[in-house]
Structure 1
């Protein structure tokens, strides 16, 4: 479906929603906000972030805020024309508190590689309440020792500062230790988190593959900016209740 055909389809759908909203005494449909987001998607297409005609979903709040999501060419979730990086997700939660659970849902989906899978239908719909954290596996002393030694080797090489804030996520098969480097790099278990190393980690630690993917998203955001000392960036960055990191 091309851009204009997609817009026409969306306009028809919007008209139906306006009619339904008017009859139920709902607030006016946010046409100006929808128009702004259409322009944001057009810019995303022009920038090569997504395919022209890619399917998008729209969620609305009673105060006229709109969250629109799609999957980009790289497989990353896009929200209102932007990559759903941690900083974008935090901003959207602040700007649209009513839709904060929806933002978190798509952020979690992205970390697990599920895109828009399982997302609610267009419109405002409640999400299922979050379940409690999974039982935390015990940390194998040998695995922790290997990860710590690999991190200490980075410290000795001058790539990571002594006492850098770390994320430590236990796995049934080992442990994941991530730190930010002085050079702006994100290191996991002693190596820069390149795509090849991430593939290896997901294969070795399949039960925490989503945590590896979440770290890849953070690294991608870091690489978008000039290199900076990331010594403390991962301290407090993780909200996973199963994480043992120094937060």
Structure 2
């Protein structure tokens, strides 16, 4: 019965003026083979075990996002660790799959791995939606954060906060994040240690997910040799409600 309904629907669509039956996009064989080679390299480098199950999400534009769990429990995407910088690059490379990249990134930050992931296959295009209304910036909180950051500037730890990431909260409060000359990530005038992150979560609980994302970014920075991170946050926030002055 269901098959007959589908046939009738296709026939009716053909009869409508200007209507064309939808066709599935061509299978991206070359891109799949490229991603398979990336997984082979991940196995050879020890990131994941041979035979680990991988998931494949195909964009309507021929892009491919493949994910798996690594040996140490981290999420891997297209053969590499899904760090904040990798997630940003993948969102730029495959904008039609950006939502899937963010899904897995958020899962990793919450320790859920691949739980709740959709089935493999072609991902439907979502209707475009505008950003949420920009919350008013708490000017008093912003001034306090800028004053605390100015102390870091005088100490030589931070350059003039060009490219600072400013994230306002709906109910007041703000996160003012800057990259330090010493490779540190400072938020509201202090290094984003675990204690300071916990304190910030009590001050602006609705920005808890942003704090987690900044913590992940800091952890990635600290894994590498110290370098000047003055401009590292410029354009680093994909949230439409994030203000990033340059």
With normalisation by structure 1, the TM-score equals: 0.70
SS state of the match for residue 132, structure 1? coil
Partner of 2:155: 157
Aligned to 2:233: 234
CA contact (8 A) 1:40 1:80 kept: no
Q: Distance in 1 between matches of 2:97 and 2:138?
A: 39
Partner of 2:196: 197
Q: 60-69 or 78-87, which moves further after superposition?
A: 60-69
Q: Whole-Å Cα distance in 2 between the matches of residues 74 and 129 of structure 1?
A: 37
- Structure 1 residues 204, 213: closer, same or farther in 2, change over 3 A? same
Partner of 2:144: 146
Kept in 2: contact 1:113–1:210 (CA 8 A) = no
Q: Which residue number in structure 2 is paired with residue 39 of structure 1?
A: 40
Query: Quick check: 1:174 aligned with 2:173?
Result: yes
Q: CA deviation at 1:136?
A: 3.2
Tell me which of 47, 56, 77 is aligned to 1:58. Answer: 56
The gaps in structure 2 that reach 5 residues or longer are: 1-23
Q: C-alpha deviations, 1:55-90, integer Å up to 9, x for none?
A: 642223578754222355777542123222343234
Q: Equivalents in 2 of 1:235, 1:27: separation in Å?
A: 37
SS at match of 1:92: helix
Equivalent position of 1:88 in the other structure: 86
Q: Contact 1:112 / 1:210 at 8 angstroms: preserved in 2?
A: no
| 1:232/1:126 CA distance change after superposition, 3 Å | same
Secondary structure of the equivalent of 1:178? strand
Contact 1:101 1:127 in 2 (8 A): no
Q: Report deviation, 1:148.
A: 1.6
Query: Deviation of residue 155 (structure 1)?
Result: 1.2
Instruction: Give runs of aligned pairs for residues 19-38 of structure 1, distance below 5 A.
Output: 27=27, 32-33=33-34, 35-38=36-39
How far residue 179 of structure 1 moved from its aligned partner, in angstroms, is 0.4
TM-score normalised to the size of structure 2? Answer: 0.71
Tell me if the contact between 2:69 and 2:114 (Cα under 8 Å) persists in the aligned partners: yes
Deviation at 1:182, TM superposition (A): 0.8
Contact 1:202 1:212 in 2 (8 A): yes
Alignment coverage as a number of residue pairs: 221
8 A contact 2:87–2:102 mirrored in 1: yes
Which residue of structure 2 lines up, in the alignment, with residue 183 of structure 1? Answer: 182
Matching residue of 1:218: 217
Residue 122 (structure 1) shift: 0.8
Structure of greater Rg? 2
Say if 2:165 and 2:177, in contact at 8 Å, map to a contact too. Answer: yes
Contact 1:111-1:211 at 8 Å conserved across structures? no
